[in-house]
Amino acid sequence: MKVLQDGPEALSTRCPPKYGVILNFCGPIIYTSECHLPFTEISGHCIVVETLNTGTWDEMNNFCQQIGGRLAVLNDGNLLYFLIKFIRDNGLDIENFWIGATDVEEEGNFKWVDGTSVRMGAPYWGYHADEETEPNGGTEENCVVLWRDFRYDFDDLTCSSACGGICEQNTSYCKYPNATSNTALVMT
């Protein structure tokens, strides 16, 4: 293992992607370069691309929670790029995929499941030269999907539709409630 950082500076370090996940935040903060199964590391995030189970947005969010995650927060263009590449490279482009965003609480105000706002426009949402720009569903479409036929751009869709899901491992381990001055960031 290699000590990357020590002391108070460690407290301001926010789960640097290339260092992976924290295994233990009560003692020394230990990072591993690998995600816990069944999650796969994609651009520093721990992701499951679920195609075997499909369901409504709620059902797939429940599925993600059962395996230790939630529907993914995709607010990073690099993550989105490498996720779509992963989907295609592994032949998983057989489904549309629910992601962790809805405008259920307030029409038109899309929020991620972590409470942050969804960025609108490019490169996230679908733009169709001969059609409307997404989101376009008003109160009929309140859940966000990566839509296969739109190059996996974001698209609002009826929440009861059946889709696969993009799960992300729960990131609550990014908090350091018990860190001390001798906290160390360690990578295996």
User: By the criterion CB under 5 A, which residues form the site for Ca ion?
Assistant: 103, 136-137, 141-142, 155-156
Beta strand spans in the chain (E) = 2-6, 21-22, 29-32, 40-42, 45-55, 69-71, 97-102, 111-112, 143-147, 153-157, 163-169, 184-187
Going 144 to 166 to 154 to 161, the CA torsion angle's sign is negative
Cα separation, 101 vs 21, in Å, equals 23
Q: Which amino acid is at 65?
A: Q
Q: Smallest distance from the beta carbon of 154 to Ca ion, in angstroms? A: 9
> Quick one: 136 or 170, whose CB is closer to Ca ion?
136
> Quick one: 61 or 142, whose CB is closer to Ca ion?
142
> Quick one: 96 or 183, whose CB is closer to Ca ion?
96
Q: Smallest distance from the beta carbon of 143 to Ca ion, in angstroms? A: 8
Q: Which of 23, 32, 34, 29 is closest to 9 using CA atoms?
A: 29
Q: Are the C-beta atoms of 75 and 118 separated by less than 8 Å?
A: yes
> Quick one: 31 or 147, whose CB is closer to Ca ion?
147
Give the DSSP per-residue string, 115-128. Answer: SPBPPPSTTTB---
Q: Smallest distance from the beta carbon of 144 to Ca ion, in angstroms? A: 9
Phi, psi angle pair for 110, to nearest 5°: -80, 130
Q: Smallest distance from the beta carbon of 136 to Ca ion, in angstroms? A: 5
> Quick one: 89 or 132, whose CB is closer to Ca ion?
132
Q: Smallest distance from the beta carbon of 167 to Ca ion, in angstroms? A: 22
